Amino acid sequence: MKTNLLHAGFFQRFWIIVGDSVREEIKKVFRDRKIPEYLNSTNIVLTPKVQGPETIGSYRPISLCNSIYKIISKVLVGRICPYLDKIISPCQAAFVLGRRGVDNAIIVQEVIHTTGKTRGKVGYMTLKIDLEKAYDKLEWSFTRSMLSRFNLPNNLIEIIMSCITTVTTSILFNGGSLEPFSPTRGIRQGDPLFPYIFIMCMEYLGQLIQEKCEEGLWKPVKASRSGPLFSHLFFADDLVLFAKANAKNCMVIRDVLEKFCTESGQTISSSKSRVFFSPNICQVEEEAFLSILGFQASNCLGKYLGFPIRHRGGSNQDFNFVLDKVKTKLAGWKANLLSMARRSVLIQVASSTISSYVMQSSMLPGKVLEGMDRVNRNFLWGSSDNNKKMHWVG
């Protein structure tokens, strides 16, 4: 049954008619341990990462998978998920039930705050690592070895690898689809299964780091005197590494990353990766450490998981992006076409969801809150820069 063009809504509406056929198709996949090629045909849509993209790297490829394939994929997710918290270390927070990305962001902020005040002889460094096209470069042989490493049943491994290796892809471009092709590595973004496969592969890097820590070759850091040691924190492909700042640690970090990249197929973007050093590291030492690592130093690591990493007290500039997001969200709607009640609901949705996420780890400055109130009032009463209106309620 070829279903490439049938949306999920079709199956929901006509399940009484097609339900038996769909069930038999899915049972056949698990019985044969193989995905038919017509079920694993995928269209890729390129979504821009930034406003006004100019290069192909400014787009994110999202895979539009077959509806029946997604059912199979979600069944596999249901079998894997209950065991993730046992096989994935606490240093990974993505896609594991009961773990939150904000926990990682708070820990990173605390470590930066502590190391940023260091004045003793021992210096510290925090590395923010950027992986280039992390999903697209994952080697299939490495993926299979990691699934076996976690002792997954062989029949489950065969089905998962069939999901990965039998895919045929076509890119949607200018209203049509280009000639299909079959990739030889990488996993798809947009597939319900592959985020979980990816974090299992990233666990290998965490194990390499942990081995070096246990051997005493990688010196981790503490956020407080009595706190636990931290060597790394992962959220999917967002990587942050912590270590004492010395040449030996730098060489160990470089060797670990090189080994991981060689085996997994990943590539680190040296131009986008950053290193933050504690203030007691002199310029000469910084340059020596950077020459070993191959990265750039930075006094500001920017945002991590959408949270600003502050090295000193928060300023309005650090949180202006929240105000900009609220403006962009409301600008997409015409206030004069909505009733007062609908405008009120839209304001609550736009402001609360955007601001509450950031406020999980930080308090917003007063001026940013005042700016959000002003934007919300103008939208509620239909005001704009060119058309001022009376706000009947303050």
pLDDT at 283 exceeding the cut of 80: yes
Please, is 198 exposed, middle or buried when counting C-beta atoms within 10 Å of its C-beta (0-12, 13-18, 19+)? Answer: buried
Residue with tokens 């010196």: 219
Percentage of residues of the chain with pLDDT beyond 70: 94
Residue 335 has pLDDT above 70, yes or no: no
Give the pLDDT confidence of 191-217 residue by residue, as tens digits: 899 999 999 999 999 999 999 999 999
CB-CB contact of 128 with 108 (8 Å): no
Burial class (CB in 10 A: 0-12, 13-18, 19+), 46: middle
Q: How confident is the model at residue 312 (pLDDT cuts 50, 70, 90)?
A: low
Q: Containing H/E element for 308?
A: strand 307-308
Contact (CB, 8 A) for 73 and 193 = yes
SS3 90: coil
The rounded distance, in Å, linking the Cα atoms of 266 and 187 is 12
Strand partners, 131: 268
Residue 336 in this model has a pLDDT that exceeds 70? no
| The predicted structure's pLDDT at residue 391 | 62
Angle at alpha carbon of residue 118, lines to 112 and 119, rounded to 5°? 160
Sign of the torsion angle spanned by Cα atoms 160, 256, 224, 108: negative
Mean pLDDT over 105-113 rounds to 88
Is 372 exposed, middle or buried, given 0-12, 13-18 or 19+ CB atoms closer than 10 A? buried
Tell me the mean pLDDT in the region 4-8.
71
Q: Which residues of 336-370 are buried (b: 16+ CB within 10 A; e: fewer)?
A: eebeeeebeebbeebbeebbebbeebbebbeebbe
Residue 5 pLDDT exceeds 90: no
* pLDDT (average), residues 185-195: 89
CA–CA separation, 336 and 338 (whole Å): 6
Q: What is the mean pLDDT of residues 108-133?
A: 88
For residue 61, what are its two tokens? 């490829």
Average pLDDT rounded to a whole number, residues 57-73: 86
Dist. CA 273–CA 253, nearest whole Å: 13
357: pLDDT strictly greater than 90 = no
